[in-house]
């Protein structure tokens, strides 16, 4: 496709698609491994993975084969009936997490909505007053629906859509005293990301997460952990909370679960696993056999390819390289993260760097807030990919300093 034809595609998109996103002027056509290719055949090293979605990378033949087999058999029946892929995906996800029950959704946002309903229903079952409260974290991100937005601690996202759902109180992430300060007899749950993603790549401290777990236990409240971005092996364990010696009552997962196929889930354990009754929740498409066949194969491949162990090794290598980069560049103020979810905080907004990387160096990067570049590549990258990313990023930083 000529440059003119690519621009024509962009112009057509601007005419027909609702103007919600500020897209970059690139039209991607296909991918292979850790690389994307535009409609002119140019190759881009991908360190964004579709916002932490493409854990197995692009063009995974075993996954593609499983999806092709399922699409020829059955894509949808509704949840009025059982299907084998949903059962198999559910069994594998529960085995990987140690949770007790799973409900499949179409997205991470829907998983958050379901988790909020579990918390409210649990409080309702105990006979609490109907104005029970949920504590969420400042600078968090949980999705764009009104319920998920209500627990997203960012005024920029919330203000145009007020009033949101009531009964949400915000505490400071990694500040246990701030959680205690907003706790009341109405508190029924605490919701947080185990590693804040959009908020700037901040892992929970062990003291904080264990302290919140104890608070919830002491007051018979639920701990809800959002692992939509940091889960599925990205942190160096299958789920980030498994590194802390805690277990949530409800966990949300999505993104890499389907490796590009829209699927999410909320999982419940112990007392939360029996909180909901038939009729309390539902979805037309969630858990359909096509999406679940994809998730089932993804979970198989995570196991057979030892993805978690690979992330531990390559994540440590990425950490060392980003530490060297930080030491060499005064414009970098901080380096945070775990495994293959890491971030560099710059002194100035990173938008120009991200754009330079894409357009000049053919390197796909994404930001987390205005001053953080987040590194969430496919989980199958190797050290050579890290080295190449660093070389391209170095050139962008050098260009920006001129």
Phi, psi at 279, each rounded to 5°: 95, -10
pLDDT at 106: 97
Predicted model pTM = 0.96
State yes or no: pLDDT of 131 exceeds 90. no
Map residue 29 onto helix, strand or coil: strand
Residue with tokens 């409800």: 250
Looking at every residue in the chain, the average pLDDT score rounds to 96
State yes or no: pLDDT of 271 exceeds 70. yes
Domain spans of the chain, in order of start: 62-304
Residue range 222-237, pLDDT digits in tens: 999 999 999 999 999 9
What does DSSP say about strands 133-137 and 372-375: parallel, antiparallel, or unpaired? unpaired
Region 310-327: mean pLDDT is: 98
Concatenating the DSSP letter of every residue in 110-161 gives HHHHHHHHHHHHHHHHTT--TT-EEEEEBT----SSHHHHHT-B-HHHHGGG
pLDDT at 1: 60
Question: Would you identify the CATH topology of the domain 62-304?
Answer: 3.40.640
Region 62-69: mean pLDDT is: 98
What does DSSP say about strands 187-193 and 168-171: parallel, antiparallel, or unpaired? unpaired
Residue range 145-176, pLDDT digits in tens: 999 999 999 998 999 999 999 999 999 999 99
pLDDT at 401: 67
Region 238-265: mean pLDDT is: 98
Residue 71's contacts (CB-CB under 8 Å, 6 or more residues apart) are 290
Comparing CA positions, the residue from 101, 108, 88, 81 lying closest to residue 292 is: 88
Comparing CA positions, the residue from 249, 241, 263, 282 lying closest to residue 100 is: 249
């Amino acid at each position: 496709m000529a440059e003119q034809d690519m621009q024509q595609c962009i112009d057509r998109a601007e005419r027909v698609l609702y103007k919600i996103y500020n897209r970059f002027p690139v039209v991607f056509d296909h991918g292979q491994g850790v690389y994307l290719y535009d409609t002119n055949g140019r190759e881009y090293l991908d360190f964004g993975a579709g916002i932490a979605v493409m854990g197995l990378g692009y063009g995974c033949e075993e996954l593609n084969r499983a999806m092709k087999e399922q699409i020829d058999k059955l894509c949808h029946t509704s949840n009025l009936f059982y299907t084998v892929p949903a059962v198999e995906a559910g069994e594998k996800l529960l085995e990987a997490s140690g949770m007790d029950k799973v409900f499949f959704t179409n997205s991470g946002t829907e998983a958050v909505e379901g988790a909020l309903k579990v918390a409210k229903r649990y409080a309702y079952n105990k006979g609490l007053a109907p104005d029970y409260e949920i504590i969420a974290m400042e600078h968090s991100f949980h999705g764009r629906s009104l319920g998920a937005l209500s627990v997203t601690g960012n005024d920029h996202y919330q203000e145009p859509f007020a009033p949101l759902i009531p009964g949400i109180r915000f505490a400071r992430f990694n500040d246990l005293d701030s959680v205690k300060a907003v706790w009341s007899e109405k508190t029924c749950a605490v919701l947080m990301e185990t590693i804040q993603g959009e908020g700037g790549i901040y892992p929970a401290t062990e003291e904080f997460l264990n302290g919140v777990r104890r608070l919830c236990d002491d007051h018979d409240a639920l701990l809800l952990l959002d692992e939509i971005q940091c889960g599925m092996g990205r942190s160096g364990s299958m789920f980030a909370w498994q590194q802390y010696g805690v277990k949530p009552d409800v966990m949300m997962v999505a993104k890499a679960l389907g490796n590009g196929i829209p699927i999410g889930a909320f999982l419940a354990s112990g007392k939360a696993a029996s909180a909901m009754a038939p009729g309390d929740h539902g979805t037309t498409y969630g858990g359909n056999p096509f999406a679940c066949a994809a998730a089932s194969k993804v979970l198989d491949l995570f196991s057979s390819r030892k993805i978690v162990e690979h992330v531990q090794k390559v994540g440590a290598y990425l950490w060392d390289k980003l530490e060297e980069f930080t030491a060499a560049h005064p414009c970098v103020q901080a380096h945070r993260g775990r495994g293959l979810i890491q971030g560099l905080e710059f002194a100035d907004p990173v938008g120009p760097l991200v754009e330079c990387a894409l357009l000049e160096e053919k390197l796909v990067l994404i930001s987390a807030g205005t001053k953080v570049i987040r590194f969430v590549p496919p989980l199958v990258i190797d050290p050579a990919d890290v080295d190449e990313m660093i070389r391209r990023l170095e050139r962008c930083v050098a260009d920006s300093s001129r």
